[in-house]
Amino acid sequence: MFEENYKGFDTSIVYDYREYPDKNAGICDNCGNAQFKSSIKNTIFLRECRKCGMKKSI
């Protein structure tokens, strides 16, 4: 079976973009995916990777 190559980020934490900017713009730091779900709540923009679930507040 295909094994995912994740970098070990904790996907239960919401990372702050100012502290953890993207290593490659628009690419998930954990799995390398470029597709995200985004939402806005209480004026905070939240971006979540569709593949691994890593979240960043922008």
Q: Tell me the pLDDT tens digit for each residue of 16-53.
A: 999 999 999 999 999 999 999 999 989 999 999 999 99
pLDDT of residue 1: 44
Query: Where are the extended beta strands (E) located within the chain?
Result: 14-16, 36-41, 44-49, 55-57
- What is the count of structural domains for the chain? 1
Domain extent, residue 52, equals 14-57
Could you tell me which residues come within 8 angstroms of residue 31 by beta carbon, excluding any fewer than 6 positions away?
4, 5, 6, 7, 49, 51, 52, 54
pLDDT of residue 8: 86
Note whether residue 23 is domain-resident: yes
In this prediction the pTM is: 0.84
Note whether residue 48 is domain-resident: yes
Note whether residue 50 is domain-resident: yes
pLDDT of residue 15: 96
pLDDT of residue 32: 94
Note whether residue 43 is domain-resident: yes
